Structure 1
Amino acid sequence: MALSYKARRRWALVILLVGMPAYIVAAVTAVGWLERPSFLMELLIYVGLGFLWALPFRFIFKGIGQTDPDAEPPDANKTDRQDPSV
């Protein structure tokens, strides 16, 4: 069962506000357990972990920045202005 657009937006928000900070703390803790690697190696580890966290959530974030595909298109014939002849 596919998630609706609204559900994907909500899950994306939860992932970004809760999941990403938790993942950052876990990544920093995991690298901290290693003896301090060289700067370049540490950078490669963080870049690799940065890609890894996003892979499982690609389907949730895909298309979130677009307009809702299930929403009704705005009616071009409707206007909010009053008729000037009245």
Structure 2
Amino acid sequence: MALSYKARRRVALLVLVVGVPVYIALCWKLTSLFERPSILVELAIYVGMGLLWAIPLKSVFMGIGQPDPDE
């Protein structure tokens, strides 16, 4: 079932306001459990985690900045 434009906007806002900060806190906690790796490995981990949240939510954010297609 596809979400309507308004529903996708609401879900996108919820993800950005609540989901991303929670995800950042979880990633921060996860990386703090291990010893600090070299700077390049740490950079690769954070870049990977930064992309990991966006891939499943790509369909929610597509077209959000465009005018409502139903109007």
Identity across aligned pairs (percent)? 59
Match of 2:5 in 1: 5
- Larger gyration radius, structure 1 or structure 2: 1
1:49 Cα offset (Å): 0.5
1:18 Cα offset (Å): 0.3
CA RMSD of aligned residues (A): 0.6
* Partner-residue secondary structure (3-state), 1:54: coil
Match of 1:24 in 2: 24
How many residues end up aligned between the 2 structures?
A: 71
Match of 2:49 in 1: 49
Greater RCO between the two (CA within 8 Å, min separation 6)?
2
Displaced runs of 4 or more, over 2 A: none
Cα-to-partner distance string for 1:5-25 (whole Å, 9 max, x where unaligned): 000000000000000000000
For normalisation by structure 1, the TM-score amounts to 0.80
1:40 Cα offset (Å): 1.1
Give the number of the structure whose residues are more often helix, by fraction. 2
Q: Give ranges in structure 1 of 5+ residues lacking alignment.
A: 72-86
Q: Give ranges in structure 2 of 5+ residues lacking alignment.
A: none
